Amino acid sequence: MAFVEFRGVRKVYQMGEVEVAAVDGMDFSIERGELVVIVGPSGAGKTTLLNMLGGMDSPTSGAIVLDGRDISHASPKELTLYRRHDIGFVFQFYNLVQNLTALENVELASQICTHPLPAADVLRQVGLGHRLDNFPGQLSGGEQQRVAIARALAKNPKLLLCDEPTGALDYETGKAILGLLQDTCRDTGKTVAVVTHNSAFTAIADRVIHIREGRVAGVEVNDRPLSAEVLEW
């Protein structure tokens, strides 16, 4: 069994009389330790997929398995624990607590977990060893996203789930963040999934899952992914 599996997953929203299938029968798998890019145009179903994989929402039908556990019928309480322990989230906007330092922001997340990694170590790992005591307002956008990545990693999650992680950053800073996600995957063996509309990012992935109209339009496995350093778009 693969590390992550989507099997016949559907998510249907009822809009008055009309049913909208935001995800309409999705099958894919992700292996442990892979950097995966899930890519598709606006409205393809990326957010709906991410919400289900992240345990924010449950599928209408089908199975979602992470590390051997089917979460598709999990109770709200079980999903809370799943989000807390199994998934590290990185969003487009960093969502840091403004009156806490970088170190305190990371420690805050670690406090709710059972096996957190030392906050200062993880901040050093993302290149912010010299910024531990700075507040978010004293950090650049790229540095704030590094804190957000450290916060997610310090939970020591099974899967790092990133939603348009470079969306608010300029070109060079965005590239550096992609490089950090790639290095994290290579150096720690962590499974990293990046959800994006930017098809250029697919070149750095071990596996690419193309999404269109609520379905998987294709899957590619890259034997030689490009280093994020040399990526251009």
Query: What is the C-alpha to C-alpha distance for residues 116 and 114, in angstroms, rounded to an integer?
Result: 6
Letters for 150-189 (x = contact with ligand ATP by CB under 6 A, - = none) are ----------------------------------------
* Terminal CA-CA length for the chain: 35
Is 112 near ligand ATP (CB under 6 A)? no
Query: What is the C-alpha to C-alpha distance for residues 76 and 80, in angstroms, rounded to an integer?
Result: 6
Stretch of 36-44, 93-101, 119-127, 172-180 contacting ligand ATP, by CB under 6 A: 36-44
Say how many C-beta atoms besides its own lie within 10 A of residue 230's C-beta.
10
Is 212 near ligand ATP (CB under 6 A)? no
Residue 154 phi, psi (nearest 5): -65, -20
Rounded to 5°, angle at Cα 37 from 166 and 64: 120
Letters for 6-35 (x = contact with ligand ATP by CB under 6 A, - = none) are -------x-x----x-x-------------
Is 196 near ligand ATP (CB under 6 A)? no
Stretch of 42-50, 64-72, 98-106, 219-227 contacting ligand ATP, by CB under 6 A: 42-50
How far apart are CB 184 and ligand ATP at their closest, in Å? 24
Residue with tokens 């916060």: 151
The residues binding ligand ATP (CB under 6 A) are 13, 15, 20, 22, 40, 42-48, 197
